[in-house]
Amino acid sequence: MKVKMSKKIPTNPYRTDLARIFRYFTMFIFFALFLQTIRKMNLLAIESSCDETSAAVMVDGVLKSNVISTQLIHTEWGGVVPELASREHQKAIIPVVTEALQKANINKNELNAIAFTRGPGLLGALLVGTSFAKSLSLALNIPLIEVNHMQAHVLAHFIEDPKPQFPFLCLTVSGGHTQLVWVKDALHMEVIGETQDDAVGEAFDKTAKLIGLPYPGGPLIDKLAKEGNPDRFPFSLGEMPGLNFSFSGIKTQILYFLQKETQKNPQFVEENKADICASVQKSLIDMLLRKVKKAMREKSCKQIAIAGGVSANSGLRSRLSEMGEKEGWDVFIPAFQYCTDNAGMIAMAGHFKYEAGEFTNQDVTPLARYNL
Ligand code: ADP
Ligand code: MG
């Protein structure tokens, strides 16, 4: 009997090995891609543009720590002394960064990127944060991200809910700036109006100085204004063309008014402090809101945000909310800790830039002036 044998095809040992290697290789690639998607992005941010040394840690866009050290030394001088600010930053930067990392429970070797304020601000102060960020990025071999401080003030709105939708209008008011910013998206903003002389924060601080309040006087004016009559001393608001602002006129007006009244009654300031604060605050807010209304109409916009140190002012917050209700706008007001200078907002801006792949190299230098 003849048995028919099936013909066995000889296997090529090299071929099976290759197939196996290819299979493992594909699995490895998929695993690496998977790890990449679940890997956390740990970002350290540093702010040193003026008189706050601050460091923050953000993980995948979520703020984990935001340490702020405010320099008290300037109170003695009635304003920020640039050289003293630089020295204070040098003293504070290592403890502040260390505390931010500890609070976030992150080791410096786990960091994936470093964001820092490149400007605008005091050159010597910016130099401290910039040099520190550059050195750490070099030592850890991780990317460096430069941040515009004014852009970061606007992006502070994205740290917590509710967040505005793009595009929206933002009134940025601080000790050094007064701007109406048209925010197209996180990284594209246009200044459509700004002060031609002093910033509104400066007007608050200088008025405070005239009535004997310590620096920074803005928060103290706010506090006293709550007990005063805002209509007691009316000041003329002046008129600037378009969407620009000017605060030097009202500042001089307040100075002459106080000089005239104290000549008649040397106790005038002491006897009328709360009413002076309430009247000055009302006038400054009127000047801001007048332009906000105009800009919102021009842009047919329904969302308004405020940012910067002066956005902590209770009068501005409540009057903008009232105006928003009347006009049918959504009003976005940041939490107090994100109004004045802080590294949390630098981290938020850094996060957007990291996602967009916008990095800086080691040649970067700070900029005292830095347009949006
Ligand atoms: P800069 O970035 O220019 O240093 P910040 O954003 O830190 O300014 O804001 C500081 C300014 O904000 C100061 O002029 C301070 O007086 C002002 N400011 C802070 N809180 C208030 C408040 N409640 N009312 C008015 N002004 C305030
Ligand atoms: Mg600021």
Query: Which pLDDT band, with edges at 50, 70 and 90, does 79 fall under?
Result: confident
Angle at 352 between CA 305 and CA 201, to 5 degrees: 35
Domain 42-154+342-355 part of CATH 3.30.420.40: yes
Q: Taking residues 221-236, report their average pLDDT.
A: 97
- Is 310 near ligand 1, meaning CB less than 6 Å away? yes
Query: What's the pLDDT tens digit per position in 147-198?
Result: 999 999 999 999 999 999 999 999 999 999 999 999 999 999 999 999 999 9
Residues for the chain: how many in total?
372
Residue 91: Cβ within 10 Å count:
13
| Residues, Cβ < 5 Å to ion ligand 2 | 174, 341
Distances (CA, A) of 316 to 222, 264, 278, 288, 370: 10, 32, 12, 9, 27
pLDDT at 8: 63
**Beta strand 168-173 with 144-148: parallel, antiparallel or unpaired?**
unpaired
What average pLDDT is seen over the chain? 94
> 13-27: per-residue pLDDT in tens?
667 777 888 888 888
> Which residue from 327, 352, 340 is spatially nearest to 146, judged by alpha carbons?
352
Structure tokens at 143: 């990317």
Going by alpha carbons, the residue nearest to atom 20 of ligand 1 is 219
341 lines ligand 1 (CB under 6 A): yes
**C-alpha radius of gyration, the chain, whole number:** 27
The pLDDT value recorded for residue 27 is 83
- Reading the block at residue 208, the tokens are 């405070």
Place of tokens 């984990």: 64
User: Is 34 a residue whose pLDDT tops 80?
Assistant: no
| Ligand 1 atom 9 nearest Cα | 309
Distance 122 CA to ligand 2 centre (A): 11
Of 187, 167, 191, 157, give the one whose Cα is nearest residue 177. Answer: 191
Percentage above 70 pLDDT, the chain: 94
Atom of ligand 1 nearest to the CA of 309: 9
Question: Could you tell me the distance, in angstroms and rounded to a whole number, from the CA of residue 309 to the centre of ligand 1?
Answer: 3
- Residue 340 per-residue DSSP state: S
For ligand 2, the distance from its centroid to the CA atom of residue 176, given in whole angstroms, is: 7
pLDDT at 10: 62
d(CA 153, CA 149): 6
Ligand 1 proximity of 288 Cβ (cutoff 6 Å) = no
Range 338-353 average pLDDT = 97
| Residue extent(s) of CATH 3.30.420.40 domains in the chain | 42-154+342-355, 162-334
- Pick the more confident residue, 39 or 264: 264
If you classify domain 162-334 with CATH, what class do you get?
alpha beta
Any atom of ligand 1 within 6 Å of the Cβ of 205? yes
**360 DSSP 8-state letter:** B
Task: Note the ligand closest to the C-alpha atom of 317.
Answer: 1
Q: 201 pLDDT exceeds 60? A: yes
Supply φ then ψ for residue 143, to 5 degrees: -65, 155
Calculate the dihedral angle through the C-alpha atoms of 262, 263, 267, 270, rounding to the nearest 10 degrees: 10
Closest C-alpha among 62, 54, 200 to residue 133: 54
Q: Which ligand is nearest to the CA of 201?
A: 1
User: Does the pLDDT at position 94 exceed 90?
Assistant: yes
Tell me the C-alpha distance between 70 and 337, whole Å: 12
Determine contact, residues 224/272, Cβ cutoff 8 Å: no
- Spell 124-143 as b/e; 16+ CB within 10 A means b: bbbbbbbbbbbebbeebebb
Ligand 1, atom 13: nearest CA belongs to which residue?
A: 175
**CA-wise closest residue to 129 among 147, 104, 153:** 147
Compute the distance from residue 308 Cα to the ligand 2 centre, in Å: 5
pLDDT bucket at 4, cuts 50 / 70 / 90? low
Contact 93, 132 (CB under 8 A): yes
Report the C-alpha gap between 44 and 58 in whole angstroms: 7
Q: Which two tokens stand for residue 171?
A: 């009134």
Q: How far is the CA of 108 from the centre of ligand 1 (A)?
A: 32
CA of 182 to the centre of ligand 2 (A): 18
Distance of CA 204 from the midpoint of ligand 1 (Å): 8
pLDDT at 11 over 70: no
More confident residue, 70 or 112: 112
The yes-or-no verdict on residue 3 having pLDDT over 60 is no
Q: What is the pLDDT of residues 261-319, one digit of tens each?
A: 999 999 999 999 999 999 999 999 999 999 999 999 999 999 999 999 999 999 999 99
pTM for this predicted structure:
0.89
Q: 90-95: long-range contacts (C-beta < 8 A, 24 or more apart)?
A: 90/128, 92/53, 93/46, 93/48, 93/53, 93/55, 93/128, 93/129, 93/132, 95/69
Q: What is the mean pLDDT of residues 49-68?
A: 97
The pair of structure tokens assigned to 344 is: 């949390």
